[in-house]
Amino acid sequence: MDKLLVHGGTPIHGAITISGSKNASLPILAAALLTDQDVVIRRVPDVSDTNYMVQILTGLGADVERFSGTVRVTAADISDTAPYDIVRRMRASVCMMGPLLARKRRCVVALPGGCVIGDRPIDLHIRGLEALGATTEFEGGNVILSAPGGLKGATVDLCGENGPTVLGTDNVMMAATLAEGTTTITSAACEPEVVDLADFLNSMGARISGAGTSTITIEGVGELHGTVHNVIPDRIEAGTFMVAAALAGEGVTLRRVHEGHLVAITSALRKAGHQVHFNDNGDACTIHRGDTPMPAEISTDPYPGYPTDMQAQMTALFATTPGTSRVTDTIFPQRFMHCAELKRMGADIHVADGQAQITGVKKLSGAPVMASDLRASAALVLAALTAEGTTEINRLYHIDRGYEHIDEKLEALGANVERVRV
């Protein structure tokens, strides 16, 4: 279990390149199971979640090669059962259900269970796949979906209590590509990662329109073929470094970003008094810490709203922003584990009913802290950049799940960080 030592107080500056999106790569890797032909996916970030996904594909019998960001998958002959040992390590493995069911007409996938950010049910995924004609059984901790006669197009609404579901939309969209007839998903998630998956599937011969809006239409086709695809930049990694720059930056440039995907994050940072400038192409941005940082109120929302995956990082920024800020998470109202650790560093935060009220303190102080999930760990790293003294972030594997070489990128910007291999 590696840990990260962050010696706070060193300003960061310079330029780094943002990696491919983890949350786009995971369903795209799963979608490679929809064809027996070669699929080449480029810019897959080297993080442990994509490694788990590669292990799942291999466990299912696919032939997978990985070399410097490119993954080639050939799923000529695959089984219908996703092994529990790996599924339990990564909740996103539920996005195997759609492609396996479509290709094999049956799948057995271990139920993922809850995680530290909340309960995380999969009822909407099941509702969507059942609408396409699948029957469901739950047995021995697994969900078994069957559609021996093949799937049939239908109209499916995927809105839950907390809004649309991203991986649920992905699952139904993937399954519907090979269903007979037309499927319409209403209340679909509009996230850029869903659009990237739709683009990938269309490049394999699928007929999907409307991705990126709340209504997606999929006309089923007989089969899909191989393709080559470049994954979109990781907007959450970009957002995390944007906050790092707002905290400790003297001019930080992020290359290979997508301006359109960063609107909510950019506007939150500007509201908090920091400067963000995009180049004319909208594929690079430079962030300067503002002279007079201001408190703000942020509430997460499905895309194009402010992302839940960026609320912990913003909480870290507000911890040393003068005045009182509020961060509300409507998507995962229990996702505030980072606050207890930030308080150990001296932050003044009160959490109640899915909202953190943060009163900025002058300085945080370095302390040993415990990472609890991916984005919570990122928040601790950010807080540590300006804290007095050294912060020791334990359980670094959480951050390695979704940030490609974060220590090397921070070092490239001049931060004083050290990975200790334990």
Which residues are marked as active site?
115
Neighbouring C-alpha atoms within 13 Å toward the C-beta of 398 = 22
Cα(96)–Cα(94) distance, integer angstroms: 5
Query: To the nearest 10°, the Cα dihedral for 293, 294, 299, 300?
Result: -10
Under DSSP, the state recorded for 260 is G
Residue reference for tokens 């939150």: 268
Residues between 47 and 86 that touch ligand EPU (CB under 6 A): none
Cα(249)–Cα(226) distance, integer angstroms: 43
Residue 264 neighbours by CB under 8 Å, 6+ apart? 301, 303, 304, 305, 306, 307
Helices (H), 223-367: 235-248, 263-271, 311-318, 337-344
**Window of 158-166, 174-182, 356-364, 391-399 that interacts with ligand EPU by CB under 6 A:** 158-166
Between 243 and 284, name the residue whose CB sits nearer to ligand EPU: 243
Between 164 and 220, name the residue whose CB sits nearer to ligand EPU: 164
**Window of 138-146, 164-172, 259-267, 276-284 that interacts with ligand EPU by CB under 6 A:** 164-172
Residue of 166, 176, 393, 396 that binds ligand EPU (CB under 6 A)? 166
Amino acid identity of residue 410, one-letter, is L
Residue of 165, 187, 227, 377 that binds ligand EPU (CB under 6 A)? 165
- Residues in the interface with ligand EPU (CB under 6 A) total 27
Residue of 118, 210, 304, 305 that binds ligand EPU (CB under 6 A)? 118
Residue of 3, 43, 125, 409 that binds ligand EPU (CB under 6 A)? 125
Query: Three-state SS across 262-282?
Result: HHHHHHHHHHCCCEEEECCCC
User: Whole-number minimum distance, CB 32 to ligand EPU, in Å?
Assistant: 16
Residue of 375, 398, 399, 413 that binds ligand EPU (CB under 6 A)? 375
User: Whole-number minimum distance, CB 63 to ligand EPU, in Å?
Assistant: 24
Under DSSP, the state recorded for 385 is H
Between 168 and 366, name the residue whose CB sits nearer to ligand EPU: 168
Residue of 53, 87, 92, 232 that binds ligand EPU (CB under 6 A)? 92
Q: Which residues of the chain form contacts with ligand EPU (CB under 6 A)?
A: 23, 26, 92, 118, 120-125, 160-163, 165-168, 189, 193, 308-309, 331-332, 374-375, 402
